[in-house]
Amino acid sequence: MLFDSDPSKFLRPDKKRAAQAPAPLSKGMADTTAPELDLWYEQAVDGVPVQNGRVGVHLDPTGKEVWAVTNSYRPGLENAPTKPSLTADEAVTEARRALPQGRPAEKPQLLLRPGATEADNGSQLVWRVWLLDDKHGVSNEYYVDARTGRGILDVENRHRYEQNRRVYDYVHSEDDTLPAQPSRVEGGQLSGTLDVNQAYDYTGATYKYFMNHYGQDSYDN
């Protein structure tokens, strides 16, 4: 659900940055799937999202007590460029130079990519283009320079199938050998065992939480 609360009443101001005019945090979404209430604010400059720029306020189930704050807000981006000279279609064409048989998996997204460190205020205005090459099983995100015509600035591999759950049931066996066949696989039918179905559902919910809130697609990515 949408919320209208101001994060400033949950956050203690950082005196070292009080003089800086921060790039705004837009209203976000409240995640009510977890026991606590997570309020997320997305950072943007002139409507352009800052990649991975967000503040999360984690409240107790009553919504009255702050349990924790997650902060990946990036300061110093107030004057970052937000007007592209390259169109979205031109960005796709540029990305397909690297993956000629790739097709767009979604609409290109205009993003601000901050510098590598907080001390590095340099930012890049880019188009994020996700291409799929079904024939060769390639799924890549291309970050295409949106202003100066430098082409592709970065490439990240993206798994075609985000989840591949396999749940095994040892049926109370003390043997450590993995059963020959899983009791339930990704997209498969319900198992007759409640614990198997719960393991399947809860691992899926955990994956979605970390993907949606932290951009994590695996334990090390």
Q: Indicate whether 92 belongs to any domain.
A: yes
Q: Indicate whether 127 belongs to any domain.
A: yes
Task: Identify whether the C-beta of residue 66 lies closer than 8 Å to the C-beta of residue 59.
Answer: yes
60 Cβ contact list (under 8 Å, min separation 6): 36, 37, 66, 67
Reported confidence tier of residue 15, pLDDT bands at 50, 70, 90: very low
Structure tokens at 36: 């606590």
Q: Indicate whether 219 belongs to any domain.
A: no
Reported confidence tier of residue 30, pLDDT bands at 50, 70, 90: very low
Q: Indicate whether 76 belongs to any domain.
A: no
Provide the domain count of the chain. 3
**How does pLDDT run across 68-91, given as a tens digit for each residue?**
888 888 888 888 889 999 999 999
Residue appearing with tokens 């002139």: 46
Q: Indicate whether 77 belongs to any domain.
A: no
Question: Residue 163 pLDDT more than 50?
Answer: yes
- What residues make up the domain containing 49? 7-71
